Amino acid sequence: MIILGIDPGYAILGYGLVKYDRGSLTVLDYGVIETKPDKTFPERLEILHRGMQLLIERFKPDHIAFEELFFYHNAKTVIPVAAGRGVALLAAQEAGLPLYEYTPMQIKLSVTGDGHAEKQQVQTMVKLLLKLQKVPKPDDAADALGAAICHASNLGPASEEFRIK
C-alpha cells in the first residue's frame, strides 16, 4: 500500500510517500511544493493543486493522510494555509482516494510515543523509523512523512490482506 502524507501549507506544502508492506515502511519520495510570494493568491493555489495532482498521477497512492491544521500563534496565516489545504484535499477527492486526517498530537504520539514531543524529536524518529541517512529536509517534508507513518500505524496488517481492489 502506498501512503501519501501531507503537511498542509500555502507557501510550502510538505509531502512524503511511503510504501507500507506487512508492517514495514519504505520511503518512495518526499519534498515540498513551494509557491512564490510574487504570484497571486489564485496562482499559488493553482500551483498547490496541480502539484498534488502530479504527485497522485506519478505515485498512485492508495491512501492520503493529512495533518490537521493547528494554529495558536499566528492567526494571520490561518486563511491562506486553510485555502492551500483545501486545494490539496480537492485534488485528493477528485482522484477518488481515501482521505484521513490526524492531529499534530496523534502524529507525534504515533511517531515518538509522546503526543507532546518536540519537533526535533519527531524528525529524529522519522529518520530512524524510515532508516534514512539524515533527517528529511525541509521540516515540512519530515512532518508529511510523520503523517504517513501515523496512518500506517493506524492501519494494521489486516488492511493490506483484506483491502478491496
- Which active-site residues does the annotation give? 7, 67, 140
Region for residue 22 given its phi and psi (left: phi exceeds 0; alpha: psi -120 to 50; beta: otherwise)? left
Spatial separation of the C-alpha atoms in residues 81 and 2, rounded to whole Å? 25
Give the torsion sign (CA, 37, 79, 60, 15).
Answer: positive
Burial zone of 16 (CB within 10 Å; 0-12 exposed, 13-18 middle, 19+ buried): buried
